[in-house]
Structure 1
Amino acid sequence: METYGGITYTVNEMNNFETFSYSNPEHRKKVQEIAEHAAKYFDFIILDDFFFTNSKTDNEIKAKGSRSWTQYRDSVLADAGYNLVVAAAKRVNPNVKVIIKYPNWYDHFQGLGFDLNQGPKIFDGVWTGTETRNPDGAQHIQQYEGYNIFRYFDNITLGRNFGGWVDSGGIGMGMDRYVEQLWLTMFAKSPEIALFDYLQLMSVPLLETFRTPWQDKYVTSFRWDEMMQPVKQRDGKLVKPRTIARAAGWSLENIDKFVYKLGKPVGVASYKPYNSLGEDFLQNFLGMIGIPVDMVPEFPADKQVVLLTAQAAADKDILAKIKKQLVKGGDVVITSGLLKAIPEKIAEISELRHAGLALVNEFGQGGTTRDILIPKVMYHTNDAWEVVSAGRPLTNGVNGFPMLLRAGYSKGNLYVMTIPEDFGDLYELPVNILNAFRRTLNKDLNVGLEAPAKVSIFEYDNGTFILESFLDEETMATITVRDGKAVPQDLLTGETLVKDKAPEVRGFWMMRNVSNDSRFTVKMPPHSYRVFTVK
């Protein structure tokens, strides 16, 4: 057994996560004393989620001065991290490694002192909070974030992201929710997982209420009844599982059967400048509609397609970077949120406008859904073209608005992807709209997905990929493969998929939006994954 020192820098967690005041000399002294004390006994120290500050005491207000809270807090935490924690600990123990564990609310870090540009450079490495818990909680985290946040921190730290960190929050939704966090952390190729915490592992019982309804109807990736079978100990004695430790063990034992066969994760490059805000956490919703997002902190100049959300507005040189991508023959997909944020810059490429909001409920061939509030993206006729549209109604209606718009520029294309005002309404969009999004973004990848929302795809550079359904019912998903001769094989069953017949398509306006990729349809049980390789 190896032990680390663990520090949670908080004054009173029960009082709205009351943190230390890093302008208070007494608090600064205590922070340093804690680091020095831990360094006497441990060669590894991990700072838990709370090395941030939400303090707004009179001292803090005075110290902040004319700076924004983000500017002040990032500055004071960088100073405290280096001088009060890392340097202080290393003076006591030159061999100590100080690691920071970052929580799951990454888009808002900078507002409380977690500067992802400078912070990881101060510490000897990071751990990533891949806990997603219940999405109806205060953070509204989508399951896909458990994968996405690890990949993002991996791209930031370049080899110093040591593991994912999961807890049992959200278990009230069923045991599947707990083990999904473990799967996604492993799908992201995390080298280790921290199961927080020992008390939970030993005391949270395997209650029958954690057994989800679909366990009786389908053969799912997590199988409650199989997990509950007695386990043979080393002495031969059979012991009945009692706590969630067995659920974690059972799930990871099954992941072990294939995770080593996966390559390096790849996806649609989404540029998020350091410490940027805008369309908060949108990439996690996009991951839940089958877009394999890979967030990066620098503009990716080597990709055919770059995805930009409103976060990209934080880059003062973003227009030049967009133009360079288009001139070389690449594509840029921007969200309606970025169009709203920088309309004058986008007008340099195409004179588009974010012109308020509209209610829509019909999507042409996709059919109808309930009313959804979307931005109205306006354009000059014949300068930009609607790829897919929506109206209320659209068919035989009186008006319509683009859900995906294309405007040519030099040798490339600028696309505008319309994002509903409530990101959760992405899950209400019909498959034809989701497919248009995916096809447009998928040019750097060999494998694509056509499926309802809440079916995700995870892709790797060696031709392996995973489909995972977060739906409560069984659904069908179609795998699309760009190489016409390649055929997916199920890595768990050995089954080779049979190619679908080419769909019958009539009419010019239909033909222009249909892919020529090979198609393979598979059945997806609820809350389950399937693992494939393309041969």
Structure 2
Amino acid sequence: MIRVTRTLLGAAALCALLAPAALSSGAQAAPAVKPQPLPAYRNFHAAIYIAVNNAKELADKATFDREFERASRQLHFDKVYLEVYRSSNFATDAEIERVKGWFEERGITVAGGITLATGGEGGQFGTFDYENPAHRAECEKAVRLAAKHFDEVILDDFFFYTSKSPADIAAKGDRSWSQYRLETMRKVSQDLVLGPAKAVNPKVRMIIKYPNWYEHFQGTGYDLEKQSQMFDGIYTGTETRDPVVTDQLLQQYESYSIVRYYDNIRPKGSNGGKGNGGGWVDTFSTLYVDRYAEQLWDTLLAKAPEITLFNWRPMNEAKAVEPGERPWKDKATSFDWKAMVASYKPSGQAGDPGPGWGRAAGWSLEKIDKDLGLLGQPIGIASYKPYQSSGEDFLHNYLGNIGIPIELSPNFPKNADVALLTQPAAKDPKIVEEIKGNLLAGKTVFITSGLLNALQGKGIEDILEVRDTGRKVALHDFLNGYGAGNGESLNDPKRDNPPVLFPELAFYTNDSWGIIRGVANAKGFPILLMNRYGGGVLYVITMPENPGDLYNLPQGVTTEIKRYLQRDFPVRLDAPDRVSLFAYDNGTFVVQSFRDDDTDVNLSLLGAGVKLRDMATGKLVEAKAPDGKADAWRRQGVPARTEFAAAVAPHSYTVYRIEK
């Protein structure tokens, strides 16, 4: 680490200059001053998590020196989280202090870590049984150990509850498992974690890291409503890994959107804490190295203030990172494998394995750091996910993967010009009245077919008479437009898209208007319905039964939906599936492709005559000539926009700036 080395040299030189004078005057030698950590990057901090087995190994000086040398030669980092407990494995006081001291001597901030887990079996995670006195005692012992040695401690994401022992069954009583676990874990948080930690060290800041499966938290006791405010801060698991082969099937956009959601749950400065402290990425289930880089980039594009790399082992192990399957290897992609390899600084020792995961991480972080300073604060379509809610699981991330920027919040977007509400919003008992409020204020509200279904018989009929019939229909052909003689195909003549299964919605003609529709055997089915209420407009988007089928829709369908959803948004992306848009309040935006091929996109900017600059090249992008399509009947009063053609390489991103 060049910067840390400079700090150490500066301190050593200063001591050398002052030491003779001090000794000649008979003064006592001043205590050694630990070098202060310098930021590893300009726009974020970088940390490495060290699991307890690695922490214990590092207590051997030769091991520490060897592993620190390789990690720091590949990767800038200014902080480590030193784990003291995991699955009945405790570090000793001596091991903790020894390793902590060696890192601090090198200018690295050291915080503590705990993983409250019991191992598990058969591939399933094992959690403590919090009705078991022995487990409760071990939990408290681990917390006290960490608080004794550190002023900041993070809980790795196993602080949930899956046990159904006889004691749990008896304690649950008539409550649902979700309610029992939420109430239990609130008490556990206070009685076994926060209380004991503060008793040992009143200055300690306890941070809870929440994982990536946020849709299902309430089922295992994770509480984003109350528990997130009890701790001194929260942290975000942004590992999305491979979106196909892993069992969670998390979409790439979630590495960005989950940070935005947690930021809105625990904003900076709330409850006297630092809010959402950062994002956390691991190397697991990474089939090609670009996927690892994408997770790092998307976490930081969401403006996470810190990135934590899990864990110490892959960052320092004497093993070369494999590129994986990369059919795009000869293209100019954002992750430049050849440049990464060329940037590696060999140790000079025989048998140097070459660049490892540490260098892949370091190179990726160095690249994104150059771009982050250009970007303002993230903006997106206001969307609402109440606490302890679920439904249309992870739909927001699929929408993000078709180019719709989402700003997800646990708070209803009152008076937002445009609000997008999905099925979880039904958890709010006042949701119908809140929708009415926005509409009566002249705003636009989009609801999904899943939310419509959940609100049937609960007052939504007072706004519009549209219902889910319970029947399903497979649609292959799609059209837009309404009114006699209007409409055009949205299908791609170059692509034979597969049939997609949709719920059938019934509506009254001329009360609601079918803006976009699917057609099957001479019968039309609404995909986007418009209904006016008060001074506002309510749209219903019919979602595929499988949200992944959003990727199978013709591009014309998703583009047309975005024309309504993002009518007044500063930038709109017309692209195939798995191309995302990240927008910011200073007129910048990022287009990122998760596709394996070169992709042409169209960028539509709000305003006539605006300019677009590619920040990678510094050059202006030439605007497209208006196509002259006569579609005023379809979008009355639509503000002027300027169109640009662009292209994005496989698994790559480009930063743009809008200029007047």
For 1:348 and 1:168, the matched residues in 2 are separated by: 50
Give SS of 2:195's match: helix
Residue in 2 that maps onto 1:357: 472
1:89-168 equivalences in 2 (<5 Å): 89-136=197-244, 137-159=246-268, 160-168=275-283
Q: Which has the larger radius of gyration?
A: 2
AA at the equivalent of 2:181: R
Cα 1:508/1:100, change in 2 over 3 Å: closer
Matched, 1:4 2:122: no
C-alpha contact 2:318 2:353 (8 A) present in aligned 1: no
d(CA) in 2 for partners of 1:153 and 1:517? 33
Counterpart check, 1:379 vs 2:507: yes
Which residue does the alignment assign to 2:196? Answer: 88
Q: CA RMSD in A?
A: 2.1
Counterparts of 1:185-224 in structure 2, within 5 Å, are 185-203=299-317, 205-210=319-324, 212-216=326-330, 218-224=331-337
Shift of 1:226: 1.4
Which residue of structure 2 lines up, in the alignment, with residue 51 of structure 1? 159
Specify the SS of the correspondent of 1:522: strand
Distance 1:210 1:484 in 2: 45
Alpha-carbon separation, structure 2, partners of 1:265 and 1:234: 40
The SS at the match of 1:391 is strand
Question: Is the Cα contact below 8 Å between 2:516 and 2:526 reproduced in 1?
Answer: yes
Cα distance in 1 for partners of 2:142, 2:525 equals 58
Deviations 1:236-279 (A, max 9, x none): x9x87421111111111111112012111010011111111111
Determine what percentage of the aligned residue pairs are the same residue: 44
Secondary structure in structure 2 of the residue aligned to 1:190: coil
How far the C-alpha of 1:26 sits from its partner, in A, is 2.1
In 1, the alpha carbon distance for the partners of 2:391 and 2:343 equals 50
Output the CA distance in 2 between the equivalents of 1:466 and 1:282: 21
State the distance in 2 between where 1:268 and 1:219 align: 32
Kindly state the Cα deviation for residue 490 of structure 1 after the two structures are TM-superposed: 1.1
What is the match of residue 283 of structure 1?
396
Mean Cα deviation higher: 37-46 or 114-123: 37-46
C-alpha spacing 1:507/1:164, structure 2 compared with 1 (3 Å): closer
- SS for the counterpart of 1:300 is coil
Give the residue type in structure 2 aligned to 1:4.
A
CA distance in 1, matches of 2:407, 2:310: 26
Q: Secondary structure at the match of 2:109?
A: coil
Is 1:478–1:519's contact at 8 Å kept on the other side of the alignment? Answer: yes
Give the aligned partner of residue 184 of structure 1. 298
Q: Report how far residue 127 of structure 1 moved.
A: 1.1
TM (norm. structure 1) is 0.95
2:654 match: secondary structure: strand
Which whole-Å CA distance do the structure 2 matches of 1:530 and 1:508 have between them?
32
The one-character-per-residue Cα deviations of 1:391-450 (angstroms, maximum 9, x if unpaired) are 23xxxx411211111011111111011110111100111122111221222245211111
CA contact (8 A) 1:52 1:114 kept: yes
Cα gap change, 1:212 to 1:329, in 2 (>3 Å): same
- Counterpart amino acid of 2:254? E
Q: Which runs of 5+ in 1 are unaligned?
A: none
2-structure distance, mates of 1:360, 1:509: 26
Q: Distance in 2 between matches of 1:203 and 1:360?
A: 51
- The 8 Å contact of residues 230 and 241 in structure 1, kept in 2 or not, is answered as no
Aligned to 2:517: 389
Q: Structure 2: which 5+ runs fail to align?
A: 1-107, 269-274, 480-488
Greater mean deviation of Cα atoms: 291-300 or 29-38: 29-38
One of 557, 567, 571 as aligned partner of 1:447: 571
The DSSP-based 3-state class of the residue aligned with 2:426 is helix
The TM-score, its normalising length taken from structure 2, stands at 0.77
**Alpha-carbon deviations, 1:176-202, whole Å to 9, x = none?**
111000110110011110010010222
Q: Is residue 429 from structure 1 mapped to residue 543 from structure 2 by the alignment?
A: no
What one-letter code is carried by the residue in structure 2 that aligns with 1:245? Answer: G
CA change 1:47–1:207 in 2 (3 A) is closer
Query: What is the letter of the counterpart of residue 139 of structure 1?
Result: Q
- TM-aligned CA deviation for residue 291 of structure 1: 0.5
Q: In the alignment, what sits opposite 1:399?
A: 523
Deviations 1:351-400 (A, max 9, x none): 001122100111132225111101111100110011111123xxxx4112
- Tell me the CA shift for residue 507 of structure 1: 6.7
Task: Name the CA distance, whole Å, in 2 between partners of 1:80 and 1:105.
Answer: 21
The match for 2:588 among 447, 464, 474 is 464
Per-residue CA shift, 1:61-106, capped at 9, x if unaligned? Answer: 1101111111110011010111110110110111111111111001
Q: Given that residues 211 and 224 in structure 1 are in contact (C-alpha distance below 8 angstroms), is that contact kept between their aligned partners in structure 2?
A: no
- Tell me, what secondary structure is at the counterpart of 2:523? coil
- Between the aligned partners of 2:318 and 2:600, the Cα distance in structure 1 is 35
Does the alignment pair 1:169 with 2:284? yes
